[in-house]
Amino acid sequence: MLHQLNSLYPVRYTAFALCVLGLLLALFALVAFGVGLPLVLVFGVLVAVGVYDLRQTRHAILRNYPVIGHFRFMLEYIRPEVRQYFIESDSEAAPFSRAQRSLVYQRAKGEPDNRPFGTHLDVGAHGYEWVNHSMAPTQLTSHDFRVWIGGSPDAPSPSVSPCTQPYHASVFNISAMSFGALSANAVLALNKGAQQGGFAHDTGEGSISQHHRVHGGDLIWEIGSGYFGCRNDDGSFSPERFAANAQDPQVKMIELKLSQGAKPGHGGVLPAAKVTAEIAAARGVPMGKDCISPSRHSAFSTPVEMMQFIARLRELSGGKPTGFKFCLGHPWEWFGIVKAMLITGITPDFIVVDGAEGGTGAAPVEFSDHVGAPLQEGLLLVHNTLVGVNLRDRVRIGCAGKVITAFDIARMMALGADWCNAGRGFMMALGCIQAQSCHTGHCPTGVTTQDAQRQQALVVPDKASRVAQFHRSTLHALQELVQAAGLQHPKDITAHHIVRRISDTEVRLLSNLITRMQPGALLGPLDAQHNVFRLYWPLASAHSFAASEPALEPSVPHHVEVAHAAVAAVGDLPANAAV
């Protein structure tokens, strides 16, 4: 009998039935006693919702569970916040842990960031790292650590068409984030913070907007494949428009973007509806049309042409430091670029290595999770290759990819970086709460939205001070690390100073876990080099980004040689191999 009743009236309709019953009772009370109008309105709305749920065809849950099914969508909507604030531990990174975010917030606000009762980290866990300290710590007078890029006033770069306006950069700067992805108020606050703190602000490939110019903070102008700010109407590179922007005194360096860590090898489209008048003016694109960033450049097609283009940009800018940014992909493409440097004598003043863990740009999940080399592997390969061809002293290396603490900076410099950039760290200094709604336009803190009302939540003077304070506090912490290690400058930190736990009973210096290249080693026989160099250096060409055919032994069939090379390549690209 109960089964028959359930088949006639499924339990899943109980909530809807109770709403109908409540409406009937409220109507009776209203008619009979003249009370209950608010209840009539409430139950009337709920019954209307239930009827709509039963008739709609988009959501099966709502058709089977009218009214109450909406709770499922409500809970799903607030799930990230519930998990972030009530469930995940302080050390659980997704992508940044609560402890990391709290550290940024405290430093940005100038609050004490000391922590009582010892570390929360498991010092016995595989992968735990620390810096060895000295029995004779140093005492430094300043935390304003800097590096010359593009030579120096006393030692100009020997590159063909050399830099004549070297830049004395901070070792910690704002990574590339475009106006359009960031709100106007976010750009204003970041640039004012950079001006107050004396560090650099990368424009991102969206070019230089009017908001970048208000406070006069140092700019690194990033040129992407869309050539925004220096393009002709057909999307090709415009030397005249480039020179007009690049020679602005506020622009300190020119950065040619080949790829970014968030989505290497992937272009982008800003839909016409999102191309505001301000964005159109900054990028030099028409309103009412999609703004397209191609996946590759049209100004060059080979490594040699790329070097020639860099020399041209340097000349058109008036001799400012010019380099490129990329996320490491095929090793032979990178090696081809290096061979082009050797052939042409043209060297970039700097290279920024973007790790695949970078994430300020919204990207397809497959690209975020499975495309591009992580920062450690990319940085090591770039550093070692330049050492191996005796060009490391001519090219400065920057890096970006989840760098927010002083230890992060120290570790990257130990692996070969000259300076570090941060994107999400400075976003959190602005007030970002890691809501991960950057791509929706509904950013709750006004950082990544073009909604004028939402932007008002971000008060520029207050957030600019926090940006400058975060930079200052982080470099002060770096100063203390350098002093504790008995050193004079972060550039003195090497892989010998970093220790890594590799098992329950064994730790090793990082220098013993990574491959180190001897100066000039790639200019001679490769027999003693790591497989990544022995396999791919001979395949690289300065005249093509494609891999050339390897020289084959007469007795070895071609398909066998290629198969062996492919198997070896797959086995030689993990963490300790692409270094």
- Digit-coded pLDDT (tens) for 268-287: 777 777 788 899 999 999 88
- The pLDDT assigned to 361 comes to 65
Backbone angles phi, psi at 501, to 5 degrees: -80, 130
- Digit-coded pLDDT (tens) for 44-66: 999 999 999 999 998 999 999 99
Quickly list DSSP for 260-297: -TTSTT--EEE-GGG--HHHHHHHT--TTS-EEE-SS-
Q: Using alpha carbons, list the distances in angstroms from residue 348 to 238, 392, 394, 453.
A: 21, 11, 8, 43
- Digit-coded pLDDT (tens) for 216-253: 999 999 999 999 999 999 999 999 999 999 999 999 99
**Parallel, antiparallel or unpaired: strands 251-257 and 322-326:** parallel
- The pLDDT assigned to 570 comes to 36
Which of 392, 382, 491, 477 is CA-nearest to residue 147?
491
- Digit-coded pLDDT (tens) for 497-539: 999 999 999 999 999 999 999 999 999 999 999 999 999 999 9
- The pLDDT assigned to 563 comes to 38
- Percentage of the chain lying above the pLDDT 90 cut: 71
Weakest-pLDDT range from 74-83, 100-109, 399-408, 466-475: 74-83
Residue type at position 351: I
- The pLDDT assigned to 551 comes to 52
**Domains of the chain and CATH, by start:** 1-88 (no CATH), 146-512 (3.20.20.70)
- The pLDDT assigned to 152 comes to 93
- The pLDDT assigned to 6 comes to 52
- The pLDDT assigned to 97 comes to 87
pLDDT at residue 560 above 50?
A: no
- The pLDDT assigned to 118 comes to 87
- The pLDDT assigned to 573 comes to 40
Coil/strand/helix, residue 381: helix
Residue 46 has, within 13 A of its CA and on its CB side, a CA count of 24
- The pLDDT assigned to 198 comes to 98
- The pLDDT assigned to 555 comes to 42
Which of 182, 206, 191, 216 is CA-nearest to residue 279?
206
- Digit-coded pLDDT (tens) for 306-350: 999 999 999 999 999 999 999 999 999 999 999 999 999 999 999
The pair of structure tokens assigned to 20 is 């109908």
The CA distance from 539 to 520, in Å, is: 19
- The pLDDT assigned to 577 comes to 38
- The pLDDT assigned to 574 comes to 37
**Over the chain, what is the mean pLDDT?**
89
- The pLDDT assigned to 287 comes to 86
- The model carries a pTM of 0.86
pLDDT at residue 291 above 90?
A: no
- The pLDDT assigned to 271 comes to 75
Q: Which residue has the tokens 């080099």?
A: 529
Contact 214, 191 (CB under 8 A): yes
The CA distance from 336 to 323, in Å, is: 16
- Digit-coded pLDDT (tens) for 6-29: 555 578 899 999 999 999 999 999
